[in-house]
Structure 1
Amino acid sequence: MEFTLKKMNTYLMFKLPSAFICGVKLKELDSEKAVVSVQHKWLNQNPFNSMYFAVQSMAAELSTGAIVIKKIKESGREISMLVTNHQGAFTKKATGLIKFTCKDGALIDEALKRTVETGDGQKITMKSIGIDENGDQVSVYEFEWSVKLKSK
């Protein structure tokens, strides 16, 4: 099955409707990198007229998770994935168009290889950085993903 941006964004609409409603969109995806965008607007703002942290978290998580999903699909194996921990830091008020980028695709390859070879679950930590339209960092997240073979 071919993995496309359109399929992923359709998946988002049905499986993560709150992210879809808030305007989270996958814009780029390859084996090494994913870019997710979200536009600050009334629906996703906080009382301080900036983007609510939970919306930033959804976009950042998708930038890491999309790569994991892509690589699991490409492996042809039955592998489960789950966020087991995350951290976020906010460095600037998030307004306008924010793009979250994760460049940790290589980390997933090794974790998937180890879980297939050993049958043991593996954990990887992936980083996503949120940048505004001026090129300023607004937030940075780290998501710990657990991957393991599904039980038969």
Structure 2
Amino acid sequence: MWLENLKLKIFSLAKIPMISYCKSKLIYIDEQKVQIMLPLTRRTKNHHNSMYMGALAVGADIAGGYLAYYKTRKENKKVSLAFKSMKGEFLKRPEADVVFTCDQGDVIDNMLEETFRTGQRINKDVEIVATCPTLHGDEPMAVIHLTLSLKAIKK
């Protein structure tokens, strides 16, 4: 896991500094699921002492995209990865460290297979659930839907 965290840190510093600024940490990854933790700090909290909506968007972005990045890297392939839309339901104030979980590895596998087969850009929604395990266990604080957009890059 430390190696994946190092890769996330290097990627974020080089490509998306906001991810690094929020001090994100990869806590779990396999073929089906990824979990990213964002600490509730001065950098991520709002005036209500809960996680700022922008920080929630950063966490969802990482959880929604990192699984696709992980899978393509394992297969030594490249994709153009972007998000086309975002819809969030904010259910409860996240007043502690937040864990973002995306367990849609099968959806991402199908997208990758289709884009490498057709060469076309593939867009599908992925769901990210934000929880505060230290305060509320698995109760969702937010449910965020991102439209993940993948296109194979020819070598």
Q: Is the pair's TM-score, using the shorter chain for normalization, greater than 0.5? A: yes
Q: Deviations over 1:61-95 (max 9, x none)?
A: 11111101011222333321111111111111111
SS in structure 2 at match of 1:31: coil
What are structure 2's unaligned runs of at least 5 residues?
none
Q: Deviations over 1:97-150 (max 9, x none)?
A: 111111001111111111111222111211110111221321111111111123
Q: Deviations over 1:26-84 (max 9, x none)?
A: 21111111000012122211122211001011111111111010112223333211111
Task: Give the residue type in structure 2 aligned to 1:13.
Answer: L
After superposition, the CA RMSD in angstroms is: 1.7
Task: Give the residue type in structure 1 aligned to 2:12.
Answer: L
Aligned structure 1 segments of 4 or more residues deviating by more than 4 angstroms: none
For the 8 Å contact 1:98–1:130, the answer to whether it is kept is yes
Residue equivalent to 1:112: 112
Residue equivalent to 2:75: 75
From 136, 142, 145, the counterpart of 1:142: 145
TM, length-normalised to structure 2: 0.88
Residue equivalent to 2:4: 4
Alpha-carbon deviation of 1:151?
A: 5.7
Count of residues in correspondence between the two structures: 150
d(CA) in 1 for partners of 2:5, 2:35: 11
SS in structure 1 at match of 2:89: strand
What are structure 1's unaligned runs of at least 5 residues?
none
Residue equivalent to 1:38: 38
Aligned residues with identical type, % of pairs = 23
TM, length-normalised to structure 1: 0.89
For the 8 Å contact 1:5–1:29, the answer to whether it is kept is no
Task: Give the residue type in structure 2 aligned to 1:148.
Answer: K
SS in structure 2 at match of 1:44: coil
d(CA) in 1 for partners of 2:99, 2:152: 32
